[in-house]
Structure 1
């Protein structure tokens, strides 16, 4: 049976590389992006016949619904939903100086957007044998690791807290799904040099970051409700 994956925020960066790596593994991959032109360009530059563009703005309920309808024209099931789309608007801004509107905007995309994606596409993931939902997160969202200084302490209240909330979503849905499936997990690629962090030097390449996410997406081990980094399960 043909396998299908939907990756959001996939016209560049880690998302783009996730699409490439899944397409190489014979998945039919729906490349999700907000911008039609950039999305189509990404599909062309990847050059796979098993990659197709699906416009989706995860902060827009109607856009999510229309993405679902577009995918339903091709398949009734999704083996993988990879919630990669996200924004970071407060790098370099102190918590005391963060504007409420900025924080709301980040939560709107990263948290409420991811929540809606899970709810909307759950029926398709449930139809797959061994369907999986992967939420891309950050190690900076682990309250334990952050407090212990085990990770670079970039005190980015907006971005970090939205991802902590996404981790909470992962735990809540994972508890609901239990052992009957589907499986939901959070994966942090760790520090990766991307547009998200203004291409900060010294991180992994986007291909290396994507590899960590794809490894868990395709793993036979069940990590339902867990948050993982390249070495395995990390604390909340």
Structure 2
């Protein structure tokens, strides 16, 4: 059976590289992006027949439903949903100085967007022989690691807390899905230099970060309901 994947935020950074990696493995990939022009450009750069652009704004229920309708015209199942789209609006903003709107914006994308994508695409994923939902997370969303000083020094209330909340989706849906599937887990590629962090120096390249995610996508081992980094299971 032909494999199908949907990657949100697929027009750049880690998402783009995951699309490329999966396409090279003969997976039919729907490259999701909010901006049609940038999404189409990304598809052209990859230049493969098995990559198709799908417009999706994860903060919009209507947009998510439209993307589902478009994908359902091509396939009756989805094997991989990578919830990669995310924002970090609060670099250089102290928690006490943050405006409520900034916090809400982060949660709209990182938490509520991920929640809506899981609910909307669950029926297609359930029809896969082994459907997988992967939520891209961050080391800083591990409360244990952050408290212990093992996850960097960036005290980003909006980004970190919204990703921690998204991790709870992994745990909660993982328990609901159980052995019936699909499998759901969170993966952090670790510090990676992308537009998200202003291409901060010293991190992995997007291709290196993407490789970690793809390795878990291809793994035969079950990580349902788990939080993962390059070394395996992480603490919550």
TM-score by length of 2: 0.99
CA distance in 2, matches of 1:47, 1:213: 22
* Match in the other structure for 1:34: 34
1:186 is paired with a residue whose SS is: strand
For structure 2, the 5+ residue unaligned runs are none
* Match in the other structure for 2:146: 146
Cα shift readout 1:7-27 (whole Å, capped 9, x = no counterpart): 000100000000000001100
* Match in the other structure for 2:128: 128
CA distance in 1, matches of 2:82, 2:12: 14
CA distance in 1, matches of 2:178, 2:61: 27
Query: What is the CA-CA distance between 1:217 and the residue it aligns to?
Result: 1.1
Q: How many residues align?
A: 236
CA distance in 2, matches of 1:48, 1:88: 31
Matched, 1:193 2:193: yes
Matched, 1:23 2:23: yes
Q: What is the Cα-based RMSD across aligned positions, in Å?
A: 0.5
Cα shift readout 1:134-164 (whole Å, capped 9, x = no counterpart): 0000010000000011121210010000000
* Match in the other structure for 1:76: 76
2:179 is paired with a residue whose SS is: coil
2:180 is paired with a residue whose SS is: coil
Runs of 4+ aligned residues of structure 1 deviating over 4 Å after TM superposition are none
Query: What is the CA-CA distance between 1:125 and the residue it aligns to?
Result: 0.3
* Match in the other structure for 2:210: 210
CA distance in 1, matches of 2:216, 2:53: 24
2:53 is paired with a residue whose SS is: strand
Query: What is the CA-CA distance between 1:78 and the residue it aligns to?
Result: 0.3
Query: What is the CA-CA distance between 1:194 and the residue it aligns to?
Result: 0.2
CA distance in 2, matches of 1:31, 1:182: 21
CA distance in 2, matches of 1:154, 1:106: 16
* Match in the other structure for 2:158: 158
